[in-house]
Structure 1
Amino acid sequence: MMKLGFAGAGLALTFLAAPILYCDPIQPKKVAETTPQASDSGAGSQPLPPPPQSSISLYELSFGTVCGVCAGVFVKKGARIVAFALGGIFVLLQYFGSLSLLRVDWSRAASRFENFFYTKDASGVSKPPNVGSLFRWIVNFLTADFPPRATFIAGFALGLRIG
């Protein structure tokens, strides 16, 4: 009972110590007013800033840009799904390995990965893939026989950003 009393007293003190909020009454908008500005109800009223402009104007986008935005969103969402699936497979393999249900030869898996993804230059040195080479491969694959390549690349980058 004493705990409830102390809790009630503490809540009462917080309500007493709270600052008083004063709200201005809402003024109805005038019909002839075309710009959204604060009403002149007293000193210190400032006009509202203009609404933010969108970075995407649907009327100025070309076909290549629209295709690029759609492809960028698709690639970004697909990469997340693939990463989720591969991560889940890795966790399951590790779990089954800890239970001695199966044995994974990780060195052989690593060598197959290197054979598939690494590239060899003229001197025979293998180079690992990087983000730039992956981006170039995706762009070259997606823009093969597609004339508006420059607008597609801009839209693709925007699609990766907003997707």
Structure 2
Amino acid sequence: MSELIPSVLYQLGVGAICGFIIGFAIKKALKLLILLAGIFLSVLLYLGYSGIITINFDRLFDAVKNLFGLGEQISGWLILVISTLPLTGSFIAGLILG
């Protein structure tokens, strides 16, 4: 039992530190991606309003719905996460704090 505690503490520490670093990087990358997407959509809507282009909103909404249809691919990853719960839990805590 006494040999198990340092191993779990090590996993918790490493998971938290790695999660914090990766979470920080992901947040910065997503902010940049959202900014670029906002600029793109603003230009697209301006061009549509000006009459330079015509936007088919039905096809645009269908494309966005199909883009986010990744739910079935995540289930295999979720089983892996649950099997490594101590490391994953501290990683997610660090990810949220990052």
Structure 2 partner of 1:91 = 42
Opposite residue 63 of structure 2, the aligned amino acid is: R
Per the normalisation by structure 1, the TM-score is 0.42
Superposition deviation, residue 119 in structure 1: 6.8
Show structure 2 runs of 5+ residues with no match: 1-11
Whose helix fraction is larger, Structure 1's or Structure 2's? 2
Which structure is higher in RCO with an 8 Å CA cutoff and minimum separation 6?
2
Q: CA RMSD in A?
A: 2.7
The 3-state SS of whatever aligns with 1:102 is coil
Matched, 1:157 2:96: yes
Show structure 1 runs of 5+ residues with no match: 1-60, 121-136
Structure 2 partner of 1:108 = 59
Matched, 1:77 2:16: no
Percent identical: 26
Separation of aligned partners in 2, 1:118 and 1:84: 23
The number of aligned residues is 79
Per the normalisation by structure 2, the TM-score is 0.66
* Greater C-alpha Rg: 1
Superposition deviation, residue 158 in structure 1: 1.2
